[in-house]
């Protein structure tokens, strides 16, 4: 008996339409006036191997025109144009850029805005993308193990609270596809810097749980547990669906997490 592939994957409030021409993780229901939030996969673009097909990273050796077309396709699917895009020059730190106009924010691993008509994009190929919604503000953050230790998750939370004029208990945080504890082996020197709840020992190795580490820090900073939502997707487990820097030894593309309001309020 042949088991059919699911046409969608659902993780509580997040859904991946696997049959769409450009599969994206989207929220299952949106209230009127809610921002656009999405996480990309590697499917639906024009890039050739090893960047096939929806590579969104300009830092790769992919053809620039392919990356530009991939970005255009993704933004169009969300109701944006490239002229509305905000990107980050990520350095595995904790700097949050306060954004009021499109363009590249250098040496920043997070961005926050309350300006409508902007699409904030955070890049990754194993690191954890985080999207925040807090009142009239949105934020995005790029959280690898170095950034987590530097405090990027809490810094972005504090920024969205300040800009959105809300408390941490009123903020939503959404965790996208990343390398998960099933696949993320780290050395003892890295594991020792994280709490035991985020470290899983095996017989001959130690694995790190990036989402658990971020969740612990966000809850300690005042976020409510029920306001943390996770796609649960592992980039390393599914080579047909996701890029993975670790699995592919660096020769791979990049995903995006995107947050934005399409238009100015009526």
Tens of pLDDT, residue by residue over 135-146, are 999 999 999 999
| Cα–Cα distance measured from residue 112 to residue 6, given in angstroms and rounded to the nearest whole number | 35
Tokens standing for residue 96: 């949050």
User: 265 in a domain, yes or no?
Assistant: no
Confidence of residue 12 (pLDDT cuts 50, 70, 90): confident
Domain count, the chain: 1
**Which residue matches tokens 């947050």?**
259
| Cα–Cα distance measured from residue 68 to residue 237, given in angstroms and rounded to the nearest whole number | 27
User: 2 in a domain, yes or no?
Assistant: no
What angle, 0 to 180 degrees and rounded to 10, lies between the N-to-C axes of helices 210-220 and 152-164? Answer: 40
| Cα–Cα distance measured from residue 184 to residue 188, given in angstroms and rounded to the nearest whole number | 13
Contacts of residue 2, defined as CB under 8 A and 6 or more positions apart, other chains included, come to none
User: 132 in a domain, yes or no?
Assistant: yes
User: 50 in a domain, yes or no?
Assistant: yes
Domain span at residue 164 reads 8-260
Tokens standing for residue 131: 């999207």
Contacts of residue 152, defined as CB under 8 A and 6 or more positions apart, other chains included, come to 93, 94, 96, 109, 110, 141, 142, 143
| Cα–Cα distance measured from residue 12 to residue 225, given in angstroms and rounded to the nearest whole number | 14
Q: What is the pLDDT of residue 32?
A: 76
User: 182 in a domain, yes or no?
Assistant: yes
For the stretch 144-174, pLDDT in tens is 999 999 999 999 999 999 999 999 999 999 9
User: 256 in a domain, yes or no?
Assistant: yes
| 53 cis-preceded (ω within 30 degrees of 0) | yes
For the stretch 185-196, pLDDT in tens is 999 999 999 999
User: 26 in a domain, yes or no?
Assistant: yes
Query: What is the number of alpha carbons within 13 Å of residue 187 lying toward its C-beta?
Result: 2
Which residue, among 186, 106, 108, 100, has the nearest Cα to 137 in the 3D structure? 100
Q: What percent of the chain has pLDDT over 70?
A: 96
For the stretch 216-235, pLDDT in tens is 999 999 999 999 999 999 99
User: 3 in a domain, yes or no?
Assistant: no
Confidence of residue 266 (pLDDT cuts 50, 70, 90): very low
CATH code: domain of residue 105: 3.60.140.10
């Amino acid at each position: 008996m042949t088991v059919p592939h699911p046409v969608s994957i659902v993780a509580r409030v997040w859904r991946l339409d696997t049959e769409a021409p450009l599969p994206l993780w989207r929220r299952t229901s949106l209230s009127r006036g809610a921002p656009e939030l999405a996480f990309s996969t590697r499917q639906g673009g024009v890039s050739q191997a090893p960047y096939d097909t929806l590579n969104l990273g300009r830092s790769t050796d992919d053809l620039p025109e392919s990356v530009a077309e991939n970005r255009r396709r993704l933004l169009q699917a969300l109701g944006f144009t490239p002229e509305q895009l905000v990107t980050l020059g990520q350095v595995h730190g904790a700097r949050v850029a306060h954004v009021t106009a499109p363009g590249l924010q250098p040496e920043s691993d997070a961005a926050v805005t309350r300006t409508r008509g902007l699409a904030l994009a955070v890049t990754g190929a194993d690191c954890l993308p985080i999207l925040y919604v807090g009142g009239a503000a949105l934020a995005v953050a790029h959280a690898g193990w170095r950034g987590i230790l530097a405090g990027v998750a809490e810094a972005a939370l504090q920024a969205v609270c300040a800009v959105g004029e809300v408390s941490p208990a009123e903020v939503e945080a959404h965790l996208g596809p990343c390398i998960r504890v099933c696949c993320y082996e780290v050395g003892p020197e890295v594991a020792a810097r994280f709490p035991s709840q985020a470290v899983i020992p095996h017989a001959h190795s130690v694995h790190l749980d990036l989402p658990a580490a971020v969740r612990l820090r966000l809850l300690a900073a005042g976020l409510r547990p029920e306001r943390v939502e996770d796609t649960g997707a592992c980039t390393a487990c599914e080579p047909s669906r996701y890029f993975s820097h670790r699995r592919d030894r660096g020769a791979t593309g990049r995903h995006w997490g995107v947050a934005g309001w399409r238009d100015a309020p009526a």
